[in-house]
Copies of this chain bind each other. A is one copy, B any other.
Amino acid sequence: MTSIDDVARAAGVSIATVSRALRGLPNVSDATRSRVKTVADELGYVASAGASGLASGRTLTMGVVVPSVSRWFYQMALEGIDEELRRANYDMMLFNLAARKGDRERVFHRSILRKRTDALIALCLEFTPSEREQLLSLGHPTIVIGGPVKGIRHIGIDERATARAATQHLITLGHRRIAHVGGDDDEGLNRRVPLDRRRGFRDAMEAAGLAVRPEWLLSGRFSLAPSRAVVNEMLASAERPTAIVANSDEMAIGAIMAAHDSGLQVPGDLSVIGIDNHDLAESFGLTTMAQDPFEQGALGARILLDDLGGIVPPRRTSVTAPSHLIVRTSTAPPIH
């Protein structure tokens, strides 16, 4: 509860001097500065963020909007963002949309737009035209991580090319009968990601002259259990594929477990490749197209911080993050 003039009084200086001394601004004598610091420490004084935000116009806070906090991608991105923010002494305000379409309006209005952040970073979600307009009218730097959103710059892998490369890996191994596990993500609200990945799958299949069978286009809802279930179902039919491309590692692991359920060997009877390089991928020997959401998050934060710094002109272009193949033991040539 001690505020700046308590310190000023105790140190025998003006509040202006206290402010300057504590923030490390120039034009304060060493003697004064150290005295002020000592006094502030003794009194346990910490400046009120709200008040300095009001006075200076900078809140030193970044807003982060997430569709949920319980998915690997978001966690990693969050950690990356956080690391960068901490380095810049920024705090993080977390807005969790938690897949509740109904609440978005409120979250947007009551929270995001309340000028309590200097910049906004959104993970993998789409905005309605009205939301986008409001955001832009707020006038502060914004970036999206994870899925392309029209009208806002973003950072993310080339979804289509990544899925194509995954499929290509299987084709190169000699597979010709390949299934795809895709499907919408209820929580991650960006529809384009799964669509683009499926498109990449199609690209590769068609380029190789392979048939895309409708009954081998599965939906695993971006989670292990549903993926396992649909793959099990597929494996029960007379004809089955020799390989599976999954839109995410969690779904790929579900596919591996389904193979075991069905008494099949991986990669002997069935090859499986995923996308992500999830924490668990290595434990399951999963071959995957790796991406690094931690780094994507960190980069996003860094770009926003640069924009705020005002030294460099803000970059308006999106960034394509890298992805690369990691071969483990879940893929091998098919046994003819």
Contact = CB atoms under 8 A, between A and B. Distances in A.
A86 B70 contact: no
A106 B89 CA distance: 9
A111 B82 contact: no
A280 B284 CA distance: 14
Nearest to A100: B86
Pick from A89, A115, A254 the residue with the most CB of B within 10 Å.
Answer: A115
Contacts of A139: 1
A264 to B, nearest CB: 15
Interface size bracket, A side: 35 or more
Interface stretch (A7-15, A49-57, A145-153, A313-321): A49-57
A91 interface: yes
Given A61-B116, A69-B82, 4 more contacts: A46-B109, A70-B79, A91-B111, A257-B283
Contact of A113 (B46, B51, B76): B46
Contacts of A86: 96, 98, 103, 106-107
Nearest to A75: B70
A56 B78 CA distance: 31
A225 interface: yes
Contacts of A48: 54, 114-116
A131 interface: no
Contact of A83 (B49, B78, B98): B98
A282 interface: yes
A78 B68 CA distance: 10
A38 interface: no
A78 B69 CA distance: 8
B95 A94 contact: no
Copies of the polypeptide in the assembly: 2
Contacts of A96: 78-79, 82, 86, 92
10 contacts: A1-B139, A48-B115, A49-B115, A69-B75, A70-B72, A79-B98, A83-B98, A86-B98, A86-B106, A225-B283
A110 interface: yes
Contact of A50 (B50, B98, B225): B50
A78 B228 CA distance: 27
A224 interface: yes
Interface string A74-90: 01101100110010010
B68 A91 contact: no
Contacts of A111: 91
A96 B78 CA distance: 10
A44 B112 CA distance: 13
A265 interface: no
Interface in A100-128: 103, 106-107, 109-111, 113-116
Contacts of A137: 44
B82 A110 contact: no
Given A78-B69, A89-B110, A116 B46 contact: no
Interface string A276-309: 0001101100000000000000000000000000
A297 B63 CA distance: 22
Contacts of A114: 46-49
Nearest to A47: B114
